[in-house]
Amino acid sequence: MFRMVNRFWRLIMFGNLMVAVSLVIFWIAFYAELIFPIDVLSARILHFEGYYAWETSFTVPDLVLAITLF
């Protein structure tokens, strides 16, 4: 029984770690313009400045979540 519970928590820990690492990698790639090229998308998205401000408003909450998941 203890062994099964230990495996469960190890799986949960691994999932938390993967989510935390992927959040950090996402925001690094976002600000490095690897996944969000500003020049290309500003021409395609109407009211791009508002969209970009909305998108960047999630940086701090996501990083707080990543820190707590570590």
Rounded Cα distance, 56 and 53, in Å: 5
**Nearest alpha carbon to residue 60 among 23, 33, 29, 35:** 23
Mean pLDDT of 3-14: 83
Residue spans per domain, the chain? 2-69
pTM: 0.76
Each residue of 11-39: pLDDT tens digit? 899 999 999 999 999 999 988 988 888 88
